[in-house]
């Protein structure tokens, strides 16, 4: 069994097929071996940071140069970058709030599935003895899911940042992650509105007065989800302002939730997200449990060899993802 304080770290650990650097570390140094010790609660990567006494957060965080004090500790730097970017992606929580399923694939081609049961075919009627049992047919979609690469090139000389505190550098990396998540949200909203290439654009309900929402129209819109439950609303800034100015949205509990979590809960119980990915004066309602699938070609990609060998000289941080509708009727548009 390899202990955390004498493991040999190298960039080849980033090349294990189907496994991240942290997963490779965890296999070599299982966290279960540390139950009941002072290291309980730390994962394998965090134990390596402790091994080399690298503090990545707080006012007394170390300078970036400390990662490169030894060849072993330098191998930790790409994983630190990846985790900080991931944190930024997770903090941009709107995307996670609208996807029902996330599929990780090992290629650039992916064809999702669809179910042809609708309306009365979905009803589980009483079946008499010997009678035919209604079927739900699951089949492959005709067109592939379109995958797009999103990312940033991290360009900085090692000399320029070597004495910068890691806490500040982490803020920059989190912003890169947030930018990637916003771009992917744009892709997700585009699929919701226009479809995923399988002739399934969103069902639209027109407002009586273009761009002007009324509470009665919102109630009718909510009621239109007869087979699904509208638990999420996406709005652009102008639509969000109109909604929040309605008397029905000024409930004290709604305001408390907005102050507590930054999320606005509507009178229908649906979580309301504001995003610039939406067209002007438009609302999209969806059942987040069955509306959208996110497909990623592997995990977040970081140029580990450049970050280890040449520190920060033009290192790419990218994520390849696409989106597909699961049930077409699980999302609707009001505009």
Under 8 Å between Cβ of 294 and 99: yes
Exposure string over 212-248, b if 16+ CB within 10 A, otherwise e: ebeeebbeebbeebeebbbbbbbbbeebbebbbeeee
- For the record, the structure tokens of 41 come out as 């609660």
Distance between CA atoms of 4 and 31, rounded to whole angstroms?
10
Give the residue among 271, 201, 272 at the shortest CA–CA distance from 240. Answer: 272
Q: Give pLDDT, residue 124.
A: 64
Q: Give pLDDT, residue 126.
A: 76
User: Residue 220 to residues 215, 242, 291: CA-CA distances in angstroms?
Assistant: 9, 17, 20
The pTM (predicted TM-score) of the whole model is 0.84
What backbone torsions phi and psi does residue 108 show, to the nearest 5 degrees?
-100, 0
Distance between CA atoms of 201 and 256, rounded to whole angstroms?
36
Under 8 Å between Cβ of 56 and 49: yes
User: Residue 74 to residues 9, 79, 86, 323: CA-CA distances in angstroms?
Assistant: 9, 10, 20, 36
State the burial class of residue 81 (Cβ atoms within 10 Å of its Cβ: 0-12, 13-18, 19+). buried
Q: Give pLDDT, residue 262.
A: 57
Q: Give pLDDT, residue 1.
A: 43
User: Residue 150 to residues 85, 260, 316: CA-CA distances in angstroms?
Assistant: 13, 31, 10
Q: Give pLDDT, residue 255.
A: 53
Residue-level pLDDT, tens digit, the chain, 335 residues: 457 888 999 999 998 887 899 999 999 999 999 999 999 999 999 999 999 999 999 889 999 999 999 999 999 999 999 999 999 998 877 898 999 999 998 888 898 888 765 445 556 667 777 777 777 778 888 889 999 999 998 888 777 788 889 999 999 999 999 999 999 999 999 999 999 988 899 999 999 888 899 999 999 999 999 889 999 999 999 999 999 888 888 765 655 555 555 566 677 888 889 999 999 999 999 999 999 999 999 889 999 888 887 667 788 999 999 999 999 889 999 99
Under 8 Å between Cβ of 310 and 154: no
**DSSP characters for 186-248?**
HHHHHHHHH-SSSS-PPEEE--SBTTB--HHHHHHHHHT-SSS---EEEE-HHHHHHHHTSGG
The SS3 call for residue 270 is coil
Q: Give pLDDT, residue 234.
A: 95
């Amino acid at each position: 069994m390899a202990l955390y304080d004498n493991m040999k770290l190298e960039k080849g650990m980033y090349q294990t097929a189907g496994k991240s650097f942290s997963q490779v570390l965890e296999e070599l140094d299982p966290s279960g071996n540390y139950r009941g010790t002072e290291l309980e609660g730390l994962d394998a990567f965090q134990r390596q940071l402790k091994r080399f006494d690298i503090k990545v957060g707080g006012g007394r965080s170390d300078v970036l140069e400390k990662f490169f004090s030894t060849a072993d500790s330098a191998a930790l730097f790409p994983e630190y970058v990846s985790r900080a970017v991931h944190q930024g992606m997770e903090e941009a929580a709107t995307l996670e709030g609208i996807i029902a399923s996330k599929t990780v694939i090992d290629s650039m081609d992916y064809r999702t599935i669809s179910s042809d049961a609708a309306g009365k075919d979905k009803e589980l009627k009483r079946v008499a003895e010997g009678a035919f049992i209604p079927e739900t047919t699951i089949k492959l979609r005709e067109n592939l899911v379109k995958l797009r690469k999103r990312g940033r090139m991290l360009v900085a000389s090692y000399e320029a940042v070597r004495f910068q505190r890691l806490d500040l550098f982490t803020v920059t990396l989190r912003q890169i992650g947030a930018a990637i998540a916003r771009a992917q949200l744009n892709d997700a909203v585009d699929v919701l509105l226009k479809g995923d290439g399988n002739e399934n654009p969103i069902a639209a309900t027109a407002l009586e007065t273009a761009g002007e929402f009324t509470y009665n129209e919102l109630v009718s819109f909510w009621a239109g989800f007869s087979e699904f439950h509208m638990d999420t609303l996406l709005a652009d800034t102008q639509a969000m302002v109109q909604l929040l100015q309605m008397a029905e949205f000024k409930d004290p509990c709604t305001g408390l939730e907005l102050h507590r979590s930054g999320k606005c809960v509507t009178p229908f119980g649906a979580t309301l997200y504001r995003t610039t990915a939406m067209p002007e004066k438009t609302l999209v309602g969806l059942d987040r449990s069955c509306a959208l699938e996110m497909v990623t070609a592997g995990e977040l990609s970081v140029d580990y060899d450049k970050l280890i060998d040449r520190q920060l000289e033009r290192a790419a941080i990218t994520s390849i993802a696409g989106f597909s509708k699961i049930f077409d009727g699980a999302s609707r548009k009001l505009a």
